Every structure is written in C-alpha cells, then in structure tokens.
A = this chain, B = another copy of it.
Amino acid sequence: MAATEFSQEQLDEIYAFAVDLGRRAGQLLLESVEKRLDGGSQAIEEKDSAVDIVTQTDEDVEAFIKASIQDRYPSHKFIGEETYAKGQSREYLIDEQPTWCIDPLDGTVNFTHIFPMFCVSIGFIVNHRPVIGVIYAPFQDQLFSSCINRGAWLNEKRRLPLIHKPSIPPMPPTAPGKCILSCEWGKDRRDIPDGNMYRKIESFLNLAAETGSRGGKGGMVHGVRSLGSATLDLAYTAMGSFDIWWEGGCWEWDVAAGIAILLEAGGLVTTANPPEDPDTAPIEDVKLGSRLYLGIRPAGPSDTETGRQSQERTVREVWKRVRQLDFARPGA
C-alpha cells in the first residue's frame, strides 16, 4: 500500500503544502487572466498573441511549482507537463519513487478563451498510486483536494461526494441510464475511417441513444457533458456531479490529482478500453500512464448491492457500449 512508505503525519504535512501550493499557483493563473482583462500599465502589448501569453503563463507557473517542491522536498521526483513536453520521449517515466506529477494549467483552450473551466493540478504519487491530489480552478474559486485516509474535499469544508446525507446513492439500476456522462472530443480530429475520433463519437452515441436502440447498445444517459478539462471532469466525478467519465488520450499529469481525489471520495477508476468479455473480465485498477480512463463516481449500497458492486455493474455496461481506442505509448 502506497502510504506505508510515509507516516500519516508525513502525508498530512505534504498535503497541507500541496493545498497551499495549489492555491498560490491558481492565483498566478488568475492574475494572468486579469492582466488580459484590465489593460492599464499591465496591458498586453499588441504584438503578443494570446498563445504566447498562455505558453508563458504555463511555463512560469510550472517553474514556480517545481521550484517550490524542490525547495521543500529535494529528494522527490518531479514530472510536469511543460518540462515533459519539451523532451523528445513520450515514455511513461513514473516509477515507485515518491513523485510529483503536475499540470500547471489544465484546460488551456478554456484559459485562452477565458472560459472558467481551467485549473492547476497537483498530484503526489507513491508506488504508482496517487495519494494526494489538489485541483484549483481559480476563476470560480473551487478547490478540490484529498489525502489518503483524510477524505476528499471541496474548498476544504464540504466532503466529497457532495450528496452524502443520509447516504451516498448507489449507481442507478438502469446505468448508464439516468447517469451524466462526462467525455471529451480531444485533439485527435483526424478523419481516419474507424480512427479514434470516429470510435469516440460512436461510443458517445451508443451511450446517449434511447434505451435499447442501436442494436441494444443505446444507453440513454441523462446528459452528455464536455468541459474541455480532463482534470475538472475527474473533480466533478468525485463530487458526484458526473456519474461516468470515459476518456482516451490525456496524460498522467492531467489525471494524477483527479484520480487521487476520486479514489479517496470512493470512486472507481479502470481502463476505458473494453475487454473481450465485458461481463466477466476482472476490473483492474487503472494504469496511471495508460491514457485510457473510465471513472465511476462514489456510490453507496442499495438493498441488493454494495456500492462497489453498483460501480462494477456500471463499468461493464459502459464497456458493452464503447469502442477500443488507440493511444498506445512506450513504458506504460
């Protein structure tokens, strides 16, 4: 178990540090937005494009986070989106060492358009298991955080998932019916017959269409949501707002913090790609670097099932309706 290398006291201290770091990094993102809005002495010169500003903010915030972590925990490994993306390798680099896996700015397109669904994402991983997660969306001042054994929280005061009294509801008996599906169109828009884009859309359609249609695959989800931020998709799944998050193509820094929070809230995360026999295949913990994720919200028991059973039933029903995606990579 991940936490065995650290005492709870040590983890609590790291958690407090991560929450503070997330808030400060988010504040930098917000200041960058406000610079774009307010003009005056901080006005952007016209020669600077919005894209340059984002790149600069992205790099500045990552440098700030990295320096803060290396100052406080010099022995820990650090993987950030910006430093990683500049290298040549696409290998999965996380091993059993304590590792910080961070995205200084998730939802970059949203950030450039000042759509509030952007955030900083800070995950702390031990033995491949994200044990601490901090996600801060500064424009709407929503902080999602968790530490193993300490629960998951919204703004450090409301326990996640939000619907927890008198008890967390089980997944609906008709799931994916009555569920909110969270999914993203992503960046792979190549017009390749049976390629990732078409497989994604076919999967969305199966989950959305009226019950039993499309050769029995129609899932009649309650709603389909796309926010443009895998990190916030996970945060809202931990909150209980989204029931199912199905995604391929994002990276470990997009999901490390969100997986920590979703797991601590009581959710389940496994692979997006359906196995050969979705009815009986084992439901394994997700591989962090797999780029293929299926998250299910926290669920409580019903008269006939444990919460976990209702989640696993939902995983299998999703698997029956989705296509395999191709996001293979070395090392994962």
| A residues at B contact (CB < 8 Å) | 36-39, 43, 46, 50-51, 109-110, 113-116, 140, 142, 158, 162-166, 177-178, 180, 185, 189-191, 197, 201, 204-205, 208-211, 213-214, 218, 220, 222-228, 236, 239-243
Q: Given A113-B222, A115-B180, 19 more contacts at CB 8 Å? A: A37-B162, A37-B163, A37-B165, A51-B220, A51-B223, A109-B180, A110-B223, A113-B240, A113-B243, A114-B162, A114-B241, A116-B140, A189-B218, A191-B210, A191-B218, A197-B209, A225-B227, A225-B228, A226-B226
Contact partners of A158 in chain B: CB under 8 A:
37
A110 to B222, CA, bound (A): 10
Q: In the assembly, what is the distance between CA of A236 and CA of B110, in Å?
A: 11
Q: Which of these, B189, B213, B220, contacts A50 with CB under 8 Å?
A: B220
Give Cα A50–Cα B221 distance, bound, in whole angstroms. 9
Q: Give bound CA distance, A140 to B232, whole Å.
A: 15
CA distance A158 to B190 in the complex (A): 39
**Alpha-carbon distance between A158 and B38 when the two chains are bound, in angstroms:** 10
19 contacts between A and B (CB under 8 A): A37-B158, A37-B162, A39-B165, A43-B165, A50-B222, A109-B223, A113-B180, A113-B241, A114-B240, A115-B180, A115-B225, A115-B239, A115-B242, A189-B210, A189-B218, A191-B213, A225-B227, A225-B228, A226-B226
Contact partners of A205 in chain B: CB under 8 A: 197, 201
Question: With a CB–CB cut-off of 8 A, which chain B residues contact A213?
Answer: 189-191
Chain A interface SS verdict (over half): loop
Residues of B close to A50: CB separation below 8 A: 177-178, 211, 220, 222
Chain B residues near A39 (CB-CB < 8 A): 165-166
Given known A-B contacts A51-B223, A222-B50, A113 and B191 have beta carbons under 8 A apart: no
Q: How far apart are the CA atoms of A140 and B117 in the complex, in Å? A: 12
